[in-house]
Amino acid sequence: MIPNTVAAARTELLERGSTLVDRYRSVSPLGIPGTVGLALIILGAVIQPFHLTLLTRIVILGIFCMAYDLLFGYTGVLSFGHAMFFGGGAYVTAVTLGELGSVPLLGVLLIVAVAAIALSLVAGAIAFRTKGVYFAIVTLAIGQFIYLVAIRLQYIGGSSGYPVPGRPSTILPIDINDPYVFYVITVVALVATYLCFRRLLDSPVGQVFQGIRENEQRVRMVGYNVFHYKLLVFTISGVVSALAGSLYAQFVLFASPSNLDWIMSGEVLIMTLIGGAGTLVGPALGAAFFILIEVLLEPITGLWYMFVGLALLLVIIFLPRGIVGLVTDD
Amino acid sequence: MAASYNMDDIVVNSIRALFNGVSYGMILVLMSIGLSLVFGLMGVANFAHGEFYALGAYMGFFAFGLTGNFIVAMLASVLAVAAVGGAIEATTIRPLYGRDPLIQIPATFGLAIVMVEVIRYVWGSTSHPFPVPELLSGTYLVGGMAFSTYRSFLIVAGTALTILMWLFLVRTQYGLVIRGAIFDKEMVESMGYRVSRAYTLLFGLGAAYAAIAGVLIAPLFGVFPGMGTQMILLAFIVVILGGMGSFKGPILAGLLIGVLFGFGQMFVGAWAEVVPYALMILVLVYRPRGLFGTKGVFQ
């Protein structure tokens, strides 16, 4: 019944010529993303430290999920190896800070981005020789290969992971060791990611990505080199995922092998699907849903992970467009 | 003299690696046949297949605890898991046939999560030992080398079951329908066969084979909740490496990976785990359709 009510309300608004969202967009100088970002920053200032920790995790994973959805929801390519980027970003960050000492934040992010570009190009060149389900399994194997090598390299801590000695310095006069300041940085990164992706998806290149999802053969027949476009979107997604991983390592001050494991690749897919694949907001909501289930159910029952699995199955069968599909057509 | 002694050492170690590798490879083959058929016929990359293997081992463990009879434990486990497999196909996989085939990956992944958690809930997170049946315990000597009776039994049982599946596929009416539907589902349907019923049957059969593999391996490594997750990745590697649209593909690839694993453990220790992944990536670079894949099916 509820979706019907929402649909009716929406139809009514559309008939009046605009939705609430449209009206808000026309009066607010910040725009919707800026307003949401500002709201998150204000929210972070008033909540307790424990909740701030949760919110920071959600925001960082939200960036990861958004990057994942650029590939999965918008281009129709299912990678089951995205932990290689997230965990790779975390490890590169930890090892850079651990071995080189004080490196500025921008320097760390630049190193992570360069490493992620290299990894995307190599992994993509191998995996895009196949497509569909095979692509998923090939990326899974590449990711797991990296995981299995990483936990055997004593230089990067082996199976016990690699601690981050401290957060990097910044060019701004702020101290990112302060939890709230660090949180604000992650929110800015989330909003920036959203705006960049929005712009990208509206551009001709972004249209080609979505064309590949709709009908790859037709895009090829029109004359686009589908392989190059897929490699491009894989690289963009990989770089942003690695940057999210870098933020995560700086946040928890640790690069863990579990960031690289294939379960992490499965979880980003779960969050994206539950939130709503093919949207930019949905995946971030999915990350929030996932973390909230974990936090709310873990103290009550040892079975919280089973509820994640059940939620995923129910969403796939009954809500193909995820949580955001309940309230919007976007 | 010292040199010839070393030579003997290498030969003995190699025979042992080969023997261990083939017996482990047989488990991989039993796992992969079902996975490969379901993949080939239904296009479903079943991430829950590893949990059929784990559930099989646990069911066997449970039935063995009740009856103390290995044969009864195996039969009970196989029947139970085949029923679970068929039921899962009918309730969870079937609603997704009209959708993007990619959606079956997260769906079966979700199923796997639920099944692992159920196993953990019922039997606990710790590992349980599973005794080797008395008749099959111990070792025997061939040319001065001791071989495990149980591992020999694995090789015999694996070979027999593989031949049985092959006979089912090439000698029976049902096998004919399945083989036909892998290549042209619509044509087989238009001839009046209900392919959807074959789906349920094949899914159950694949689950049964995974359950047998689980019961068979349990006396070697015990039963633990993560056993299916550990195995499913290797099974997928075997399927992809072997190539689609070929029955011998997963068999030869399974044995190959088992043997490489055996030699790897002998010579590079823990790094052996990396070998199957590296091999798969290498093969894909040069031959994207796998070792024995039919051209076009894979790419």
| Weakest-pLDDT range from A48-62, B132-146, B214-228 | B132-146
Question: Quick one: pLDDT at residue A19?
Answer: 57
Query: What pLDDT does B248 receive?
Result: 85
Q: Is the pLDDT of residue B2 over 50?
A: no
Average pLDDT of chain A? 87
Q: Is A149 on the interface with B (CB under 8 A)?
A: yes
Quick check: is B263 in a domain?
no
Q: What is the pLDDT of residue A25?
A: 59
User: Higher model confidence: residue A324 or residue A27?
Assistant: A324
Q: Longest Cα pair distance anywhere in chain B, in angstroms? A: 73
| B282 interfaces chain A, CB cutoff of 8 Å | no
Q: Is residue B296 part of a domain?
A: no
pLDDT tens digits for B65-116?
Answer: 898 888 899 999 999 999 999 999 888 888 888 788 888 899 999 999 999 9
How far apart are the C-alpha atoms of A57 and A284, rounded to whole Å? 11
Nearest CB to B113 within list A136, A137, A309:
A309
Does residue B156 fall inside a structural domain? yes
Give the model confidence (pLDDT) of A156-180 as tens digits.
Answer: 888 888 998 888 887 777 788 888 9
Render pLDDT for A129-151 as a digit per residue (tens, 0 to 9). Answer: 888 888 998 999 999 999 999 99
Q: Where are the beta strands (DSSP E) in chain B?
A: 139-142, 145-148
What distance in Å separates residue A242's CA from the closest CA in chain B? 22
- Looking at beta carbons, which residues of chain B come within 8 Å of A269? 105-106, 109
Q: Which two tokens stand for residue B2?
A: 């010292």
pLDDT score for A176: 82
Range of lowest pLDDT (A266-270, B251-255, B281-285): B281-285
Contact B281, A126 (CB under 8 A): yes
Q: Does A313 touch chain B (CB under 8 A)?
A: yes
pLDDT of residue A212: 92
Among B108, B271, B277, the strongest candidate for a mutation testing the A interface, having the largest count of A CBs within 10 A, is: B277
Tokens 């829950």, located at residue: B48
Size of chain A, expressed as the number of residues it contains: 330
Mutation test of the interface with chain A: which of B117, B230, B279, choosing the one with the most A Cβ atoms within 10 A? B117
Asked whether the predicted pLDDT for residue A109 surpasses 70, the reply is yes
Q: Which of A111-120, A211-220, B166-175, B212-221 has the highest mean pLDDT?
A: A111-120
Q: How many CB pairs under 8 A join A and B?
A: 113
Test A316 with B96 for CB contact under 8 angstroms: yes
- pLDDT over threshold 90, residue B22: yes
From the list B92, B117, B121, which residue is nearest A313 (CB)? B92
Rounded Cα–Cα distance for residues B74 and A278 (Å)? 45
Using CB atoms and an 8 Å cut-off, which of residues 43-82 of chain B contact chain A? 43, 45
For residue A26, what pLDDT is reported? 59
The domain total for chain B is 1
Task: Determine, yes or no, domain membership for B273.
Answer: no
Give the helix/strand (H/E) hosting A198: helix A179-202
The answer to whether position B94 is within a domain reads: yes
Per-position DSSP letters for A57-112, written without gaps between them: HHHHHHHHHHHHHHHHTTT----S-THHHHHHHHHHHHHHHHHH---BHHHHHHHH
In a domain, B229, yes or no: no
Query: Which pLDDT band holds residue A3 (cuts at 50, 70, 90)?
Result: low
With a pLDDT cut of 70, the percent of chain B lying above it is: 95
**Whether residue A217 has pLDDT greater than 80:** yes
Give the chain B residue nearest A150 (alpha carbons): B274
Contact A309 B285 (CB under 8 A): no
- Which residues, 6+ apart, have CB-to-CB distance to A107 below 8 Å? A168
A78 CB near a chain B CB, below 8 Å? yes
CB contact under 8 A, A145 and B240: no
Summarize the confidence of residues A23-51 as an average pLDDT: 76
pLDDT band at A24 (very low <50, low <70, confident <90, very high): low
Looking at chain B from residue 147 to 206, which residues have their Cβ under 8 Å from any Cβ of chain A?
A: none
* Residue in A312, A271, A258 with CA at minimum distance from that of residue A144: A258
Q: B114 near A306, Cβ under 8 Å? A: yes
Pick from A101, A149, A313: which is nearest to B96 by CA? A313
**Whether B109 and A134 lie within 8 Å, measured CB to CB:** no
Q: What's the rounded Cα separation, in Å, for the pair A233 and B163?
A: 45
Interface touch B102/A138, C-beta < 8 Å: no
| Joined tokens for residue B197 | 């019923």
pLDDT confidence band for B3 (50 / 70 / 90): very low
Q: Which residue has the higher pLDDT, A277 or A110?
A: A110
Most B-contacting residue of A144, A298, A303 (CB-CB within 10 A), to test interface: A144
Give the mutation candidate from A273, A298, A306 for the B interface (greatest B CB count, under 10 A): A306
Indicate the burial class of B10 (C-beta count within 10 angstroms; 0-12, 13-18, 19 or more): exposed
Quote the minimal CA–CA distance from B261 to chain A in Å: 14
Q: Measured between CB atoms, does A123 come within 8 Å of chain B? A: no
Supply the mean pLDDT for chain B. Answer: 86
B288 part of a folded domain: no
More confident residue, B213 or B13: B213
- Identity of the residue in A131, A141, A316 whose CB atom sits nearest the CB atom of B277: A141
Domain annotation covers residue B228: no
User: Is A11 an interface residue toward B (CB < 8 Å)?
Assistant: no
Average pLDDT over residues A285-309: 88
Q: Find out whether B245 and B292 touch, Cβ atoms under 8 Å.
A: no
Q: What is the CA radius of gyration of chain A?
A: 20
In this prediction, residue A61 carries a pLDDT of 96
Residues 6+ apart with CB under 8 A from A263: A83
Q: What is the pLDDT of residue B297?
A: 41
Inter-chain residue contact A316 with B103, CB threshold 8 Å? yes
pLDDT 10s digits, A226-280:
999 999 999 999 999 999 999 999 999 999 999 999 999 999 999 999 998 888 8
CB nearest A141 (choices: B43, B95, B280): B280
pLDDT of residue A1: 41
Q: Which domain holds residue B167?
A: 23-124+135-222
Count of other CB atoms within 10 angstroms of residue A80: 28
